Amino acid sequence: MNYATLSESAPVDYSPATSNLFNATIAYDNPEAARHAIWLVDRWASARGRQFEVHHELWRFDVLSLPAVRAQAVADAIRSDLVVVCADRDRELPANVKTWLEEWRDRSIPGSTALVALLETDGESCAGRSPSRLVLEVSARQGDQDFFATEYRLPSETVSSNRLEISQRVGQISSASLGGFHESRPAPHWGINE
């Protein structure tokens, strides 16, 4: 099996031989990570050289604690060409996500799916190996699935909540965009009885 980062990966054809349907299951811990994963899956599928109808199944980490929901997520992952897990690089995966991975691994056909670790980072190197990546890589290896990992950095929130800075920004925006509206000339032809 192939164990690599997405940037190192060799072209591997995961496409179904007779179908233009490409199924992806995405498990995520925050909505921005899910949007990034959808973009990545769509880009990856379009790079395979033929047109695919991409079908995404999205599962938030917290709902995987519900047995019935987790069973549906396992079924979706089994049918998928690609399983993407979006997680914080420096944190352990929640127990319910590990359970979901184990159930999927135990029921999936070896070599039928690629597991992708999409790991959010703050840009700094974590001490040692990523706990999330380690669990995902071991799960892929035990299920005889290909494994790919990539790290990404979400845009940071840099909006200030300082009252002075906010009022200065509002003043700049208002004076720039409303500059022509401060004139006191009456507008022609706006009277009722003109």
- Domains defined along the chain, listed by start: 3-152 (3.40.50.360)
Inter-CA distances, 184 with 88, 171, 180, 181, 187, Å: 56, 20, 10, 8, 9
What letters, b where the CB count within 10 A reaches 16 and e where it falls short, cover 59-86? bebeebeeeebbeebbebbbebbbbbbb
Per-residue pLDDT of the chain (194 residues; tens, 9 = 90+): 444 444 334 344 444 454 688 899 999 999 999 999 999 998 888 887 667 788 999 999 999 999 999 999 999 999 999 999 999 998 999 999 999 999 999 999 998 999 999 999 876 655 558 899 999 999 999 999 999 998 888 665 544 455 565 555 555 544 444 444 344 445 555 455 55
Determine the Cα–Cα distance for residues 101 and 80; give it in Å rounded to an integer.
Answer: 13
Give pLDDT, residue 21. 85
Two tokens at 179? 């500059």
Tell me the DSSP string of 31-49: HHHHHHHHHHHHHHHHTTS
Give pLDDT, residue 26. 97
Give pLDDT, residue 100. 97
Whether residue 147 contacts residue 137, with contact meaning beta carbons closer than 8 Å, is answered with: yes
